[in-house]
Structure 1
Amino acid sequence: MGKRGRELLVRVASAFVLIPLVLGILWLGGAWFLTLISVGVALLCIEWGLMASPNAGARLAAALTISALAAVFTGYLGHPVLSFLILLFGALCTGLYGYRLGAGWMDAAYGVLYVGFPAIIIMWLREDANNGLAWVMFAFLIAWASDSAAYVTGKLVGGPKLWRRYSPNKTWSGFAGGMIAGMLTAAALNDLTHLFKHNISPIVVGVVVSLATMAGDLWESALKRRFGVKDAGSLIPGHGGLMDRVDGLMFAIVALGGIRLLVLLGTEI
């Protein structure tokens, strides 16, 4: 077995272990889900702190974690608007602390928003009394389907590169495969959950969330190039850091949060 074959085998084994665990906690919700999100936020903040400031990474990571988790816990207690205000204040304070540490203050402040914003939104989605599980499952499964299909299609078909400067391995064929998988997954999930009954097309949901997933993947590739690292970390075998695994999902969650807001406002798309 060649190097690529071993890498693929490790990726599949990691997914085989992690996906059932994550789905089980999503199903349980409540304090279990809060714990999952809190651990994820802490790990992402550690990875960001070490990328943004190798010399003061631990201290910066601590500030990032405190700021992001304060906002997440506030949202969990039923105050989503206040949680965003706390996140903004935390980003300001972390930026000032990063400046004092000699790190880039914009990188420090942005790290809080980058990690904290989707964390708040996914808590808001999951705490929906009627359809919380369905909302979160839409985000996770569409993102996973889109990401996996893009990877497999790109490897099998190849072709012109999508954004050679920042992500030389991604192709337009992978992009098309990811979009199709996202649309099909959204349609299938809607047939099961009937989440979008009236004013929003599940195909549109699939398109938007798939686009967000791939945009998140590309954005993190650009960030890693900026920080001069190959991977955000080495936590997950075959995948790198946690951020390398959830970069697209973070953007997908934000996109689905916007769609839920449109649903609440009665907007048709």
Structure 2
Amino acid sequence: MTGTGPKPGRFGDLGIRAVSGVVLGALCLFCVMIGGIPAMLLAAVLLVLLFWEYHRIITGNPRFATLPLLVLSAGGVLGIAAAGLGAAALGFVFLMIAALVAGLLSPRHFLELAGGALYIGVAIGGLLVILETETRGVDVLIWIVVIIIASDVGAYFTGRSVGGRKLCPRISPGKTCSGAIGGLACACGLSMVIAAVLGWPILVAAGAGLLVAMASQAGDLAESWLKRRAGVKDSGVLLPGHGGFLDRLDGILGGTWAFLILDALGVAAALY
């Protein structure tokens, strides 16, 4: 008989996930509250790490110093800095040029690298634009992140406690329908609580929070699909209990895109 050891419980990885999540969250919150250069540096570092992991998933190349990655990172940092200084349009132009160059230098993966670069870069740059330009930028940014975290945490606990039918077994076998519903309910409820505290319209906040949470779950599933196609479990190993930064921030990227679209349509302005 071969001994495989005791199986971990439903929440066996909760401790390490919580510690690494709190440390990352505290660092990000510190930079956001200070704003300015610390926030721009944080955004630039996150962009480089996220695209490094994305590049690894798409190409199977684990090296950091690949030419397309360095080109994209340099362009992304310039774009982030420009956005942080208020020239958001110029910043996004830099990101688009960097994405195009990165794709051209890896023609086999052109669409995936260029599209992923824009997806990641616009989301990270958009968070900085929100922080720098909105009248209550810090409040809005924290609301976005808290709603997405609530969706993730709610899905984790509900899914592991209730179980039931799998949401997308071919893409992410661990995700359940009960978890998805629980996560959306947590995000919507917490959004209403935050709105009541900040004086925002509660129903608008509930609807916006629901849409942001749905987009965050879609972003999570999209990353799971990419990893499954590439045959890798995690995007990286830099965050104990979570895998890589892309594993932890995939929902943030999707949720931020949803908010940016709502903001462009003038819906988000009703929040504050």
CA contact (8 A) 1:151 1:174 kept: yes
The answer to which of 34-43 and 61-70 deviates more is 61-70
Determine the structure 2 residue equivalent to 1:259: 262
Q: Which residue of 2 aligns with 1:162?
A: 167
Moved more, 244-253 or 73-82: 73-82
Structure 2: distance between partners of 1:219 and 1:159: 22
* 1:242 counterpart residue number: 245
Match of 1:211 among 210, 214, 218: 214
CA–CA distance in 1 between the matches of 2:26 and 2:209? 23
The residue aligned with 1:202 is: 205
Aligned equivalent of 1:33? 39
Matches within 5 A, 1:182-193: 182-193=187-198
Secondary structure of 1:201 counterpart: helix
Opposite residue 78 of structure 1, the aligned amino acid is G
The yes-or-no answer on 1:83 pairing with 2:95 is: no
Structure 2 counterpart SS, 1:170: strand
Corresponding residue for residue 126 of structure 2: 121
Q: Which residue of 2 aligns with 1:143?
A: 148
Amino acid paired to 1:207: L
Q: State the shift of 1:145 in Å.
A: 0.4
Letter in 1 for 2:86: G
Question: Contact 1:11–1:238 at 8 Å: present in 2 too?
Answer: yes
Corresponding pairs, count: 263
The runs of 5 or more residues in structure 2 that have no matched partner are: 1-5
1-structure distance, mates of 2:34, 2:259: 21
Query: Following TM superposition, by how much is the alpha carbon of 1:195 offset from its aligned partner in structure 2, in angstroms?
Result: 4.2
Aligned to 2:24: 18
Residue deviations 1:179-204, cap 9 Å, x none?
Answer: 1111111111111222448xx71111
TM-score normalised to structure 2 length: 0.89
1:27 counterpart letter in structure 2: M
**Identity percentage of aligned residues:** 32
In the alignment, the residues of structure 2 paired with residue 190 and residue 93 of structure 1 have an alpha-carbon distance, to the nearest angstrom, of 42
What's the offset of the Cα at 1:122?
0.4
1:4-23, Cα deviation, whole Å (9 max, x unpaired): 45422211221232222222
Alpha-carbon distance, 1:68 to partner: 2.1
Supply the AA of the counterpart residue of 1:182: A
- In structure 2, do the counterparts of structure 1 residues 85 and 264 end up closer, same or farther at CA, with 3 Å as the change threshold? farther
Q: Deviations over 1:68-122 (max 9, x none)?
A: 22221221121122222222222111111112xxx42222212311220101110
Rounded to whole Å, the distance in 2 between the matches of 1:16 and 1:75 is: 27
1:128-160: CA deviations, max 9, x gaps? 252000110111000000000001100000011
SS of equivalent residue, structure 1 residue 138: helix
- TM-score normalized with structure 1 length: 0.90
Aligned to 2:180: 175
Q: C-alpha distance in 1, partners of 2:247/2:160?
A: 18
Asked if structure 1 preserves the Cα contact closer than 8 Å seen for 2:191 and 2:209, the reply is yes
d(CA) in 1 for partners of 2:46 and 2:214?
A: 23
Structure 1: distance between partners of 2:72 and 2:211? 29
Question: Is residue 52 from structure 1 mapped to residue 55 from structure 2 by the alignment?
Answer: no
**Aligned partners of 1:46 and 1:62 also within 8 Å:** no
Instruction: Report if the CA contact (8 A) 1:216-1:248 is conserved.
Output: yes
DSSP 3-state at the match of 2:78: helix
Q: Pick one of 43, 57, 82 that aligns with 1:74.
A: 82
State the secondary structure of the residue aligned to 2:241.
coil
